[in-house]
């Protein structure tokens, strides 16, 4: 049932609905009250086809009229029992929200014993449990695949969860904390501080850290600029800082792309990556902690297969 912002609309909708039903009933009744007298022939409509086919104004069949009237009665009964007239809740008090909550409550009661068993196992052990893996995968597809993909391989701006590269750490407890509370990774825009030439020099130095093709002269010029502006987060050797979520720049894993143009864009404009907190997405249900536990075990298990 909609939450109307004005008292006018519930009344308007109710009147339109009821007037339409009653008006249809009256119109149908007016068109079907006259019966043919004994021996009276039906009126001939002035249409003739194929020389002998005539259109007669016969009364509608009673079975058809009964069926039509029954649909109108059904509509009135339905609107009396269930919501359909503005803010009127119906005699049964049914709501889609109430039905959903009842289904969730029943499902939680059914699966609570299963979840309780999983909570007794640590994440590393649970990652090797086939039943837990299947449930975790379903949870992942429901809550996480929209960003990380159904295969968890990620996309530009969304980390690949199947490798061993982790922005905040890949141990079980850290993964669970990331899923539960979310992350907000900010790379400040350095374009104004470095200028266009300095940005390109730092980009080439970053390329050199991972052994990618780069301009030696530009990289050498960007080394000190990196130390002055970037090393506080990415560390002097470029290996990153998990506490801040600052990426390791010495490997070949790139969240937003590893080309010179992509790196220049990252340095110049900055990045703002947000990982929403699954604790809020999963709500306050009694099995929320178990779902988070299973999700963490599933994600942890993905990177242990390689």
User: 84 vs 6, 177, 205, CA distance in Å?
Assistant: 17, 44, 66
Q: Each residue of 174-191: pLDDT tens digit?
A: 999 999 999 999 999 999
> What tokens does 277 get?
């907190």
pLDDT score of 3: 63
So what's the pLDDT on residue 44?
66
Looking at residue 112, what is its pLDDT?
Answer: 85
CA dihedral 12, 16, 18, 19 (to 10 degrees): 130
pLDDT number for residue 163 = 92
In this predicted structure, what is the pLDDT of residue 219? Answer: 96
> What is the Cα–Cα distance from 64 to 53, expressed in whole angstroms?
23
Q: Which CATH number describes the domain made up of 185-275?
A: 1.10.760.10
Which pLDDT does position 287 carry in this prediction? 84
Are the beta carbons of 268 and 189 closer than 8 angstroms? yes
35 — phi, psi (to 5°)? -110, 150
CATH of domain 98-182+277-303: 1.10.760.10
Say whether 185-275 and 98-182+277-303 share the same fold: yes
Task: Give the domain ranges of the chain.
Answer: 8-94, 98-182+277-303, 185-275
CA atoms of 72 and 70, how far apart (whole Å): 5
**Tens-digit pLDDT string for the chain (306 aa):** 456 677 888 899 899 999 999 999 999 888 776 666 777 776 666 666 677 777 777 777 889 989 999 999 999 999 999 998 888 889 999 998 899 889 988 888 888 888 889 999 999 999 999 999 999 999 999 999 999 999 999 999 999 999 999 999 999 999 999 999 999 999 999 999 999 999 999 999 999 999 999 999 999 999 999 999 999 999 999 999 999 999 999 998 999 999 999 999 999 999 999 999 988 888 667 788 999 999 999 999 998 875
Predicted pLDDT at 4: 61
Predicted local confidence at residue 62, as pLDDT:
86
């Amino acid at each position: 049932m909609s939450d109307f912002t004005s008292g006018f609309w519930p009344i308007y909708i109710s009147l339109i609905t009821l007037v339409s039903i009653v008006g249809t009933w009256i119109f149908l009744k007016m068109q079907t009250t006259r019966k043919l007298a004994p021996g009276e022939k039906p009126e001939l409509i002035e249409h003739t086809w194929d020389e002998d086919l005539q259109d007669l104004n016969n009364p509608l069949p009673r079975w058809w009229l009964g069926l039509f009237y029954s649909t109108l009665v059904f509509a009135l009964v339905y609107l009396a029992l269930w919501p359909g007239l503005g803010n009127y809740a119906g005699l049964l008090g049914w709501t889609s929200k109430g039905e959903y909550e009842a289904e969730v409550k029943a499902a939680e009661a059914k699966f609570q014993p299963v979840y309780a068993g999983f909570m007794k196992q640590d994440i590393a052990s649970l990652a090797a449990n086939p039943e837990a893996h299947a449930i975790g995968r379903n949870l992942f597809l429901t809550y996480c695949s929209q960003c990380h993909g159904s295969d968890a391989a990620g996309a530009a701006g969304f980390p690949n969860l199947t490798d061993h590269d982790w922005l905040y750490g890949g141990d079980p407890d850290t993964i669970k904390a990331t899923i539960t509370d979310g992350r907000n990774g900010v790379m400040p825009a350095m374009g104004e501080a470095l200028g266009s030439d300095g940005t390109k020099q730092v980009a080439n130095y970053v390329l050199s850290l991972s052994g990618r093709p780069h301009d030696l002269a530009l990289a050498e010029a960007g080394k000190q600029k990196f130390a002055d502006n970037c090393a506080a987060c990415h560390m002097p050797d470029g290996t990153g800082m998990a506490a801040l979520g600052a990426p390791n720049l010495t490997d070949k894993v790139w969240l937003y792309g590893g080309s010179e143009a992509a790196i220049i864009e990252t340095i110049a404009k900055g990045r703002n990556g947000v990982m929403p907190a699954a604790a809020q997405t999963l709500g306050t249900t009694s099995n929320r902690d178990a779902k988070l536990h299973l999700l963490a075990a599933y994600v942890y298990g993905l990177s242990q297969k390689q």
